[in-house]
Structure 1
Amino acid sequence: MKKFPLLALAFCLATPAFAQSTQTTADLANTVKYRHAYQSMTKLPDWVAKATAVSVPAETLKLDGKSYLVGHLCKPHDCGDHQLDIVFSEDGKAVWGLLSRRYGKTLYQMPLGEPNTETLAALTASYHKNNPDDLAK
Structure 2
Amino acid sequence: MNPIKLSLIALCLATPAMAQDGPYTADMAQKPKFAKAYQNMTQLPTWVKATESVSVPTKPVTVSGKAYTVGHLCKPHDCGDNQLDVIFSNDGKASWGLLSRKFGKTLYQMPLGEPDDAMLTALSASYRSNNPE
TM-score over 0.5 (shorter chain): yes
Q: Does the residue aligned with 1:93 lie in a helix, a strand or coil?
A: coil
Give the superposition deviation at 1:65.
Answer: 2.9
Percent of residue pairs bearing the same amino acid type? 57
Pair 1:28-2:31 in alignment = no
Give the superposition deviation at 1:17.
Answer: 9.2
State the AA in 2 paired with 1:73: L
Q: Deviations over 1:86-137 (max 9, x none)?
A: 000000000000000000000000000000111000100000001111xxxx
Matching residue of 1:82:
82
The 2-side partners of 1:17 and 1:100 are apart by: 40
Equivalent residues in 2 for 1:1-137 (5 A)? 15=16, 19-21=20-22, 23-133=23-133
The 2-side partners of 1:75 and 1:17 are apart by: 47
State the AA in 2 paired with 1:92: G
TM-score normalised per structure 2: 0.85
What's the Cα RMSD here? 1.7
Where does structure 2 lack aligned partners over 5 or more consecutive residues? 1-8
TM-score normalised per structure 1: 0.83
The 1-side partners of 2:66 and 2:21 are apart by: 52
State the AA in 1 paired with 2:72: H
Q: Does the residue aligned with 2:73 lie in a helix, a strand or coil?
A: strand
The 2-side partners of 1:64 and 1:55 are apart by: 25
Following TM superposition, the consecutive aligned residue runs of length 4 or more in structure 1 with deviations greater than 4 angstroms are 15-18
Give the superposition deviation at 1:18.
Answer: 6.6
